[in-house]
Amino acid sequence: MDITVVQQLINQGESANLEFKKSTGQLETATQTLCGFLNSNNEMSKVLIGVTDSGSIIGQTVSDSTQKEIAQAINRIEPAVHVNTSYIPSCLDGKHIIVLEVTPHLHERPYSYKGRCYQRIGTSTSVLPQNRIKHILLENMQSKHYESLLARDRDLSSLDAPLIKKVVAQGIEANRLPQEALSEPVESILRERFRLFSNNKLTNAAVILFGNKQQPDYPQCFIKLALFQGNDVLANMIDSYQGYGNAFDLLNTAMQFIQKHLKVSSEFKLDSIQRIDTPQAPILAVRELIVNAICHRDYSDPTGEIAVSIFSDRLVIWNNGNLHSDLSFDKLKTTHPSRRTNPTIADVFYACGYIDRWGMGILRVVTLCKEAGLPEPNFEENCGGFMVTVNFTDTNEVPNDVAPADQVHDIELTERQLVILECFKEHTNLAFQELESKLKLDIGGRALRKELVKLRDYGFLSLSGRGQHAKWSYKA
């Protein structure tokens, strides 16, 4: 690094991973900031000493005592961390810019300086709150992932072999597993492809993913689903389900229940006879959220679960387990590093094409909801878990270029009726005789009149005029 690179950094301005200090007279707060970087960032962060808050280079005289003072301050950061210290010559009477660089190790958190923990939020460094410290410590405990621990009294007979083969087939179709994987023995797939063995024994992840019986040893492999008549849990519960199962069972059960109960708005484009059915929430976004709940929940808690509630105005998905300490709800909605609570389980869902490895899942959900005309989903921590709320819009609202289906959304049009409507797409207004001559149907006049009346009653056609001047029109 030279002064040109330093100037480029200064031009960027202070940020979540860059801080300016005038001199080592501010070494105390500079080291607090280093500590805050270590607890809050996932990338290399820097403190520049010899630069004013406004970005002017004033330089710092560097002596042996200066270097010793910096080393002593760094040694007060716990756990011990490597701080790359550079002394960059400036153009000011032999003064230097001191660059202190740190790269965090997530599993060493929380870092402290002189016994206190700090955090970096934007351009501000502050004391790390106790609840965040507890959260980080809990994450560190969970880093000895429950999923990687040995499963009790389970062998290959405890797993659903056809499901394993089905997941492999999906992985091949998604181009994430090679074709030969389908012919491999189940045990080989579990060992080599999915890493679900440890010390020649199945891990908890194997049972969570593919177990054919979750009780009584895996009570956390549980889901509950409910449909409410109103907008809160005190309203009448119309339908509900509770049950245990492996991860793929829970995913399928949740999606079947949700698709069964989401209201569907039916409409017709004015230039088409094809009916368009639009659910209250985009199904791909909902599936992404359910998969997210399965992959990122805390399986070490035997009382944990996934809960899905459908209200009149929203869909709510909750799972036990919290957001990683280095992520915020705002970061979730942008491109961010993937933080996998259960990496082995996530790898299997990746292999079969359900997720990516780039932290794009939530961003995709936000985009799908916006494209569907819904507000951004709301993300929050609630009751020791992660909760997502997808708010619905009024399903009676119809875009300008569609016609409400009204009574016709349950009508199955016959092939003959579809042919008649196709003719009206090409010729908007037709007298009965004109229609007869243009239709390529073997149909008598009386039968054709009956079909026209039906289509009028369904809301597709209208009749204007009388006698020889009567004309049938496609109803816009």
Cis, bond preceding 399 (omega within 30 deg of 0): no
The whole-angstrom separation of Cα 444 and Cα 448 is: 6
Task: Give 424's Cβ-side CA count (13 Å radius).
Answer: 27
| CATH 3.30.950.30 domain extents, the chain | 3-142
pLDDT value for 397: 44
pLDDT confidence of residue 183:
95
pLDDT at 142 over 70: no
- Worst-scoring range by mean pLDDT, 90-94, 171-175, 248-252? 90-94
- Per-residue confidence (pLDDT) for residue 418, from 0 to 100: 84
Give the mean pLDDT of 437-445: 82
Confidence class for position 452, pLDDT limits 50, 70, 90: confident
Query: Is domain 411-474 in CATH 1.10.10.10, yes or no?
Result: yes
Pairing of strands 306-310, 222-228: parallel
SS3 366: helix
Cβ(333)–Cβ(363) under 8 Å? Answer: yes
What band does 322 get if pLDDT is binned at 50, 70 and 90? confident
pLDDT band at 421 (very low <50, low <70, confident <90, very high): confident
- pLDDT tens-place string over residues 263-286: 887 665 555 556 677 889 999 999
The number of beta carbons lying within 10 Å of the beta carbon of residue 364 is 14
pTM of the model: 0.58
Residue 94 has a pLDDT of 86
Q: Give the residue range(s) of CATH 1.10.10.10 domains in the chain.
A: 411-474
Whether residue 461 is predicted with pLDDT greater than 60 in this model: the reply is yes
- Residue 254 Ramachandran class (φ > 0 left, ψ -120 to 50 alpha, else beta): alpha
Are 145 and 343 in contact by the 8 Å Cβ rule? The answer is yes
Section 285-304 average pLDDT: 93
Assess if CATH 1.10.10.10 describes domain 3-142. no
Could you report the per-residue pLDDT of 370-414, keeping only the tens digit for each?
999 999 999 998 888 999 999 998 544 434 444 444 444 445 678
Q: What is the tens place of the pLDDT at every residue in 203-231? A: 999 999 999 987 788 999 999 999 999 89
Among the CATH numbers 3.40.50.1110, 3.40.1010.20, 3.30.565.60, 3.60.130.10, which is that of 144-399?
3.30.565.60
What percent of the chain has a predicted confidence (pLDDT) above 90? Answer: 57
Residue 342: helix, strand or coil by DSSP? Answer: coil
